[in-house]
Amino acid sequence: MQRPRGTRDLFGEELRSVRHVTQVMRGVFRRYGYSEIETPIFEHLELFTKKSGANVVNQLYAFQDKSSRWLALRPELTAPAIRLYLNQLKSAPKPLKLFYLGNCFRYEEPQAGRWRQFLQSGVEIIGSARTEADAEVIALSDDVMRELGLTWRKLHIGNIRLLREVLSKAGVKGDAQDPIMRAIDSREEARLKDELDRVGVKGHEGDLIHALIKLHGDAKILDQAEKMVSGLPRAKVAVQKLRDILKQVKLLGVEDFSVDFGIARGLEYYTDTVFEFYVDDIQVAGGGRYDELIELLGGAPCQAVGVGIGVDRIAQILLKRKIGAASERLDCMVLPASEAMLDECLKIARELRAAGLAVDVDLMGRSLTKAISYADSREAEQVVIVGEKDLAAGEVTIRDMRTGVQEKIPRRELVERLRKH
Query: Looking at the predicted structure, is the pLDDT value of residue 400 above 90?
Result: yes
Q: What angle do CA 184, 248, 26 make, to 5 degrees?
A: 80
State the average pLDDT over residues 298-327: 92
Query: Looking at the predicted structure, is the pLDDT value of residue 268 above 80?
Result: no
In the chain, % of residues over pLDDT 90: 78
What average pLDDT does the chain have? 93
Confidence of residue 122 (pLDDT cuts 50, 70, 90): very high
Helices and strands in the chain, H and E counts: 16, 17
Confidence of residue 54 (pLDDT cuts 50, 70, 90): low
Q: Looking at 11-15, 109-113, 210-214, which range is the least confident one?
A: 109-113
Q: Is the dihedral of CA 329, 331, 337, 343 positive or negative?
A: negative
Query: Looking at the predicted structure, is the pLDDT value of residue 187 above 90?
Result: no
State the average pLDDT over residues 62-69: 97
Please compute, for residue 39, the number of CA atoms within 13 A of its CA located in the half-sphere on the CB side: 28
Per-residue pLDDT at 399: 96
Q: For the chain, give every domain's residue range.
A: 12-320, 332-420
Per-residue pLDDT at 53: 63
Q: Looking at 153-157, 163-167, 243-247, 257-261, which range is the least confident one?
A: 163-167
| Single-letter amino acid, residue 57 | V
Confidence of residue 327 (pLDDT cuts 50, 70, 90): confident
State the greatest distance between any 2 C-alpha atoms of the chain, in Å, as a whole number. 96
Per-residue pLDDT at 175: 80
Per-residue pLDDT at 50: 84
Single out the residue of 258, 245, 42, 21 nearest to residue 119, CA to CA.
21
Q: Which fold has domain 12-320?
A: BirA Bifunctional Protein; domain 2 (3.30.930)
Confidence of residue 110 (pLDDT cuts 50, 70, 90): confident
Architecture of the domain spanning 332-420: 3-Layer(aba) Sandwich (3.40)
Distance CA 275, CA 134 (A): 10
Query: Looking at the predicted structure, is the pLDDT value of residue 84 above 90?
Result: yes
Q: Looking at 17-21, 34-38, 162-166, 274-278, which range is the least confident one?
A: 162-166
Q: First-to-last CA distance in the chain?
A: 45
| Single-letter amino acid, residue 20 | H
Query: Looking at the predicted structure, is the pLDDT value of residue 267 above 80?
Result: no
Better-scored residue on pLDDT, 76 or 329: 76
What secondary structure letter does DSSP report for 86?
Answer: I
Distance CA 168, CA 158 (A): 19
